[in-house]
Amino acid sequence: MLDDCQLVELRKITDLRGNLTPLESFIDVPFQIARVYYLYDVPSGSHRGGHAHKELQQLIIAISGSFDVMLDDGTEKQKFTLNRPYVGLYVCPMTWREIDNFSSASVCMVIASEKFDESDYYRDYNKFREAVAK
């Protein structure tokens, strides 16, 4: 299942004035965008994530700085280091994610396929493992 989660090279439009990376549903992002949020000023040594989603899809991008994303499908794990604002990590449903190792002044932007819905979350790792084992 982790094979469905992958790095996505985003468009990068460059000219003398700088770079621009557009994010459009079904063109740059493989789903309809319903929500965008970002993490910043994450204290050194802190972790974010620590959950999985039943249906929600995400694209995670390091807008500034760098951080690591550990993905886990219940049987295997894979670590991705994000550090370029034109590369996103597609995270499919039923994938546990942990984000850590934030560099100073890093900004993590998350693009989501659904609005916030607490019932879509697995926040207990053991319950997540039970669900994916079925």
pTM for the predicted model, two decimal places? 0.94
Task: Tell me what the mean pLDDT of segment 52-68 comes to.
Answer: 97
Question: DSSP class of residue 10?
Answer: P
At residue 1, does pLDDT exceed 80? no
> pLDDT, tens digit, for every residue of 91-101?
999 999 999 99
Q: Which domains does the chain have, with CATH numbers?
A: 2-133 (2.60.120.10)
The total of other beta-carbon atoms located within 10 Å of residue 91's CB is 25
- Single-letter amino acid code for the residue at 129: R
> pLDDT, tens digit, for every residue of 64-83?
999 999 999 999 999 999 99
Strand (E) or helix (H) holding 132 = helix 125-133
CA separation for the pair 123, 24 (Å, rounded): 29
Instruction: Give the residue numbers marked as catalytic.
Output: 51
